[in-house]
Amino acid sequence: MARSLSSSISPGRQADLASAWRTCRGALVGVALISALVNVLYLTGSFFMLEIYDRVLPSRSIPTLLGLAVLALGLYIFQGILDVVRARVLVRLGGWLDETLRSRVYDFIIRWPLKAASSGGDGLQPLRDLDQARAFLSGLGLTALFDLPWMPIYLGICYLFHPLIGATALAGALVLITLTILADVLTRSPARQAESNTAKRNALAEASRRNAEVLRAMGMGVPLTRLWDEASGACLASQQRAADIGGSLSAISRVLRLMLQSAVLGVGAYLVIHQEATAGVIIAGSILTARALAPVELAVAHWKGFVTARQSLKRFRQWSTFFTEEEQPMALPPPSKSLAVESMSVLPPGGRRFVVQEVSFALNPGQALGIIGPSASGKSSLVRAIVGVWSPAQGTVRLDGAAIERWTPESLGQHIGYLPQDVELFAGTVAQNIARFEREPDPAAIIAAAEAANIHELILRLPDGYDTPIGDGGTYLSAGQRQRLALARALYRNPFLVVLDEPNSNLDGEGDQALTQAIMAVRARGGIVIVVAHRASALATVDQLLVLAEGRVQALGARDQIARKLFAPNPVQPVPLQAIAEGATP
């Protein structure tokens, strides 16, 4: 079923929540029809008891008893089969929802840090919301919602037995419905607070995991443990409030249902004494009343899950609005002619102040640009916008005259090699990380990229060579090895534009030499290189220099000319490369 449902959504398009619900509407209608049959079959016990007391016992007919027993047995078996089918359909419907939306959820997760402000929340909340929605869709809570519309029918049958029995059952139903409404009102706010506190606690846990070395080395464990205790205490308190409310209402509804069942027995006995009903009506009315109110009790018991799933789906709609699906423009030929940055200004995600303002430059094949300047001058922000990580607030980045928005991230990524300042690798093998986790990587291209980064020999000395697992984030490698491996990943398949942000911050002399050779090789094959650097060795092979300060261009031109202009009062005096890298003013 999941496979057939998924096939109804176009494969080239990420499904949103509305299309997902439209697609599964037929399955939900099927579940509703099964629920209708199940609820009709739930009448088997009531009418069986009615016939036993009103027909079999007075007549003392064994054949009638056997006939009713066989009929009831067949109906019970059929009801059990339908219950199993309904449960399995709902489980598979939940699985289908996960299969349909998980790519969209992953898109939310990876785009959230690039578009939304960092608020310290749980970056995995979209995934948790999908899990909660799937769990509700596959559980008993949804079953109760399908059974609730049948409650008036059961109450109507109770009225047919006798108006007094129907009135008693109706009074109990109104009380339980009131409890259901109270469950919704009283659990909504605690559930939201519990989710917020849980997100804060998870964010602290993830930050502590990433910075475990700092915590250990600098003795920060005790103060952060205190923060963890406070966050966990707030999370536990809010969860307890929600659980207390839900549990109390569930217990009250359960007791009320039992009381009502006994009350119907008492009313039935009263009617029998006054000869207004038969003995069978007592038992049948009691069973039918219990069945009529069972969905309400089940709904109250699972109302917390319903509230959580509703909030999850609401957030999903908000994220779908905020993270609109990216257009699929017409495929363009691979860039090979130019890079142009036109009057570009950059705002960080969620920021209010420009960190880069009115930057313009152009590069041709074979050129290399070095970007220098003091800390917090906007260098990393500039290159993030150039490679498409951040969207420019103003201006445009063009490759071969086309704005980079005309490429999808997947197609653009094939022509860009990016080495960020903070190197991030993924759990997997060396080869997988170099090949950017392509489904069918080219072994020759992997080796060529490793050789271009001068890391091939180092990889061969690893326990399993290119098949060596590197651990989560590359924990099995040194900082220098991770940086050189990330350089090889940036050079995989010879991208036209290679952007390196502090590429030698963890490199030794051999690594610096490898970096220099890699930049020269990119230039020699007609690629464009942009290097952000504080160390002079990374600028040895650039021919253009851009000086940034407070987000604005201070100087731009040939490296030697900029060097003579800014750093050499005596034109004859050679300019130290280290001074160029630091971007110091005279």
- Tens digit of pLDDT for each residue in 121-180? 567 778 888 888 888 888 777 888 888 888 888 888 888 888 888 888 888 888 877 877
* Same domain for 317 and 347: no
Q: In a 3-state reduction of DSSP, which class is residue 529?
A: strand
Residue 440 within a domain: yes
- Asked if residue 113 has pLDDT above 80, the reply is no
Q: Which of 322, 348, 374 is the last residue of a domain?
A: 322
User: Residue 562 corresponds to which amino acid?
Assistant: I
* Same domain for 362 and 311: no
Dist CA 515 CA 484 (whole Å) = 8
Comparing 16-20, 45-49, 86-90, 429-433, which segment has the lowest mean pLDDT? 16-20
- Asked if residue 24 has pLDDT above 80, the reply is no
Residue 331 within a domain: no
CATH number at residue 167: 1.20.1560.10
Comparing 9-13, 125-129, 280-284, which segment has the lowest mean pLDDT? 9-13
Q: Give the pLDDT band of residue 576 (cuts 50, 70, 90).
A: low
- Asked if residue 571 has pLDDT above 50, the reply is no
Q: Are 303 and 183 in contact (CB under 8 A)?
A: yes
For residue 580, the model assigns a pLDDT of 52
pLDDT mean across residues, the chain: 83
Residue 328 within a domain: no
Residue 170 within a domain: yes
Residue 432 within a domain: yes
Residue 330 within a domain: no
**Residue 246 φ/ψ, nearest 5 degrees:** -65, -45
Q: How far are the Cα atoms of 180, 196, 368, 492, 527 from residue 519, in angstroms, in the given order?
A: 68, 47, 8, 13, 9
* Same domain for 433 and 306: no
For residue 119, the model assigns a pLDDT of 44
For residue 273, the model assigns a pLDDT of 85
pTM of structure: 0.72
* Same domain for 399 and 318: no
SS3 per residue for 108-168: HHHHHHHHCCCCCCCCCHHHHHHHHHHHHHHCHHHHHHHHHHHHHHHHHHHHHHCHHHHHH
Dist CA 14 CA 105 (whole Å) = 10
How many residues belong to the chain? 586
Q: How do residues 526-568 score in pLDDT, each as one tens digit?
A: 999 999 987 777 788 899 999 999 999 999 999 888 877 765 5
Dist CA 567 CA 554 (whole Å) = 13
Residue 584 within a domain: no
Q: How do residues 353-390 score in pLDDT, each as one tens digit?
A: 899 999 999 999 999 999 998 888 999 999 999 998 89
* Same domain for 360 and 318: no
Q: Which of 1-5, 49-53, 396-400 has the highest mean pLDDT?
A: 396-400
Comparing 429-443, 467-481, 536-550, 560-574, which segment has the lowest mean pLDDT? 560-574
* Same domain for 266 and 168: yes
Q: Which of 322, 355, 383 is the last residue of a domain?
A: 322
Dist CA 53 CA 284 (whole Å) = 9
- Asked if residue 431 has pLDDT above 50, the reply is yes
Dist CA 285 CA 275 (whole Å) = 16
Q: Give the pLDDT band of residue 218 (cuts 50, 70, 90).
A: confident
What is the count of structural domains for the chain? 2
- Asked if residue 9 has pLDDT above 60, the reply is no
Domain limits at 399?
Answer: 339-567
Q: Are 439 and 469 in contact (CB under 8 A)?
A: no
Residue 85 within a domain: yes
- Asked if residue 85 has pLDDT above 70, the reply is yes
For residue 575, the model assigns a pLDDT of 47
Q: Which residues pair with 558 in a beta bridge?
A: 544
DSSP secondary-structure letter at 293?
Answer: H
* Same domain for 254 and 351: no
Q: Which of 322, 348, 368 is the last residue of a domain?
A: 322
* Same domain for 190 and 53: yes
Of all residues in the chain, the percent with pLDDT exceeding 70 is 90
- Nearest-CA neighbor of 54 among 70, 43, 65? 65
Q: Are 356 and 344 in contact (CB under 8 A)?
A: yes
Task: Say which residue, 58 or 113, is predicted with more confidence.
Answer: 58
CATH number at residue 361: 3.40.50.300
Task: Say which residue, 33 or 104, is predicted with more confidence.
Answer: 33
Token pair listed for 170: 């109706």
Q: How do residues 394-406 score in pLDDT, each as one tens digit?
A: 999 999 999 998 8
Q: Give the pLDDT band of residue 274 (cuts 50, 70, 90).
A: confident
* Same domain for 368 and 407: yes
* Same domain for 270 and 166: yes
Strands 528-532 and 339-346: unpaired
Of all residues in the chain, the percent with pLDDT exceeding 90 is 30
- Asked if residue 577 has pLDDT above 70, the reply is no
* Same domain for 54 and 200: yes
* Same domain for 383 and 303: no
Comparing 47-56, 449-458, 572-581, which segment has the lowest mean pLDDT? 572-581
Dist CA 382 CA 374 (whole Å) = 14
